[in-house]
């Protein structure tokens, strides 16, 4: 991820919308089709521990598996189920946070940690940095589990499994074009709503960026960090990371390899940069716009607010531990 000029942000958001809308349709269509075909019951058997931990119905088993592999399709499935009344906001909330560690391990580690972060920082520091990222993810996972258990109205939780095999399900239920037409109709309806929401969100972000709101926030945060009394190189890593995480990691690796900075202040810079990046870019430019383009705005606000409420205390606690213990 990286910082954007107004023109670059416009292009980024346009391509984001172009990629998102077809994937939402695909996810929604698959969800509706497989729900009608009864395949989710088969998948529910494989991930029953997750379902039991969050007190979730078997219907969300397919999105739980899909979100770590392709988040946009998985969230499209959840949005489709929410719209059709198969699940409620509770199930969406628990599902999103429950798979957070899996999303890091399956989606982020192969794309960023293995090809970029490990070569740049070396294995020991890269593993510590991965631990910091997973700490936030597991905190969100436990939040989802706790919320799922507290809000569950079922005392003896069970997931009803159908004895019919997946093949038999598909043969018996996909013979009728009615199922396909119903799935297609629901998917087109959801995609239309998502398209409208996406357009509104993209337009709002363009306006906010045009008036320099994000630039003002970045400068204010960088000023605060610069006056925190940390070594200049640690501050440089943090501010660079806030604009581009990959550039921040590469800069940290270069300084570390030359012996210009200690492991303690490399990790300090990376953690500070991560906090800055999340506040300036991740939450307002990516997390909320994505959630708001797929789910109702009220639910998108809740998901983003809880993410912030969980992430920041964990990161600040880790930062304090590094400064005091290393």
pLDDT higher than 50, residue 164: no
Cβ 275 vs Cβ 312: under 8 Å: yes
Of residues 209 and 272, which shows the higher confidence score? 272
pLDDT digits (tens, 9 = 90+) for 54-75: 888 888 888 888 888 778 878 8
Structure tokens at 174: 């996909």
Find the mean pLDDT for residues 278-289.
86
* Residue 45 pLDDT: 63
Domain ranges of the chain: 6-325
pLDDT higher than 60, residue 198: yes
pLDDT digits (tens, 9 = 90+) for 228-262: 567 777 887 888 788 778 778 878 888 887 788 88
Q: How far apart are the first and last CA of the chain?
A: 29
What are the CA-CA distances from residue 61 to residues 76, 88, 159, 168, 270 (Å)?
A: 14, 15, 11, 19, 35
* Residue 97 pLDDT: 94
Of residues 235 and 139, which shows the higher confidence score? 139
How far is Cα 52 from Cα 42, in angstroms, rounded to an integer? 15
* Residue 252 pLDDT: 85
Q: What is the reported pTM? A: 0.71
pLDDT higher than 80, residue 22: no
Find the mean pLDDT for residues 141-149.
93
How far is Cα 83 from Cα 76, in angstroms, rounded to an integer? 10
């Amino acid at each position: 991820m990286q910082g954007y000029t107004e023109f670059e942000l416009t292009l980024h958001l346009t391509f984001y919308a172009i990629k998102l809308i077809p994937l939402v349709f695909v996810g929604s269509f698959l969800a509706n089709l497989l729900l009608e075909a009864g395949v989710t019951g088969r998948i529910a058997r494989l991930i029953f521990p997750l379902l039991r931990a969050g007190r979730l119905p078997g219907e969300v088993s397919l999105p739980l598996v899909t979100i770590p592999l392709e988040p946009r399709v998985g969230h499209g499935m959840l949005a489709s189920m929410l719209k059709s009344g198969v699940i409620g906001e509770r199930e969406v909330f628990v599902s999103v946070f429950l798979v957070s560690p899996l999303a890091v391990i399956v989606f982020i580690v192969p794309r960023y940690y293995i090809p970029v972060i490990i070569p740049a920082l070396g294995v020991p520091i890269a593993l510590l940095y991965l631990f910091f990222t997973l700490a936030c993810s597991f905190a969100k996972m436990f939040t989802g589990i706790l919320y799922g258990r507290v809000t569950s109205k079922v005392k003896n939780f069970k997931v009803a499994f159908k004895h019919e095999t997946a093949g038999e399900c598909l043969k018996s239920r996909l013979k009728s074009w009615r199922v396909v037409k119903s799935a297609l109709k629901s998917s087109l309806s959801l995609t239309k709503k998502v398209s409208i929401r996406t357009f509104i969100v993209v337009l709002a972000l363009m306006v906010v960026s045009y008036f320099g709101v994000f630039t003002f926030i970045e400068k204010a945060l960088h000023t605060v960090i610069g006056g925190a009394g940390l070594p200049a190189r640690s501050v440089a890593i943090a501010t660079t990371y806030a604009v581009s995480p990959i550039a921040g990691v590469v800069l940290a690796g270069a300084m570390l390899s030359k012996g210009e900075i200690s492991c303690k202040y490399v990790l300090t810079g990376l953690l500070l940069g991560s906090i800055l990046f999340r506040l300036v870019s991740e939450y307002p430019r990516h997390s909320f716009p994505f959630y708001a383009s797929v789910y109702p705005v009220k639910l998108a606000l809740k998901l983003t607010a809880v993410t912030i409420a969980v992430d920041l205390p964990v990161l600040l606690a880790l930062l304090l531990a590094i400064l005091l213990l290393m």
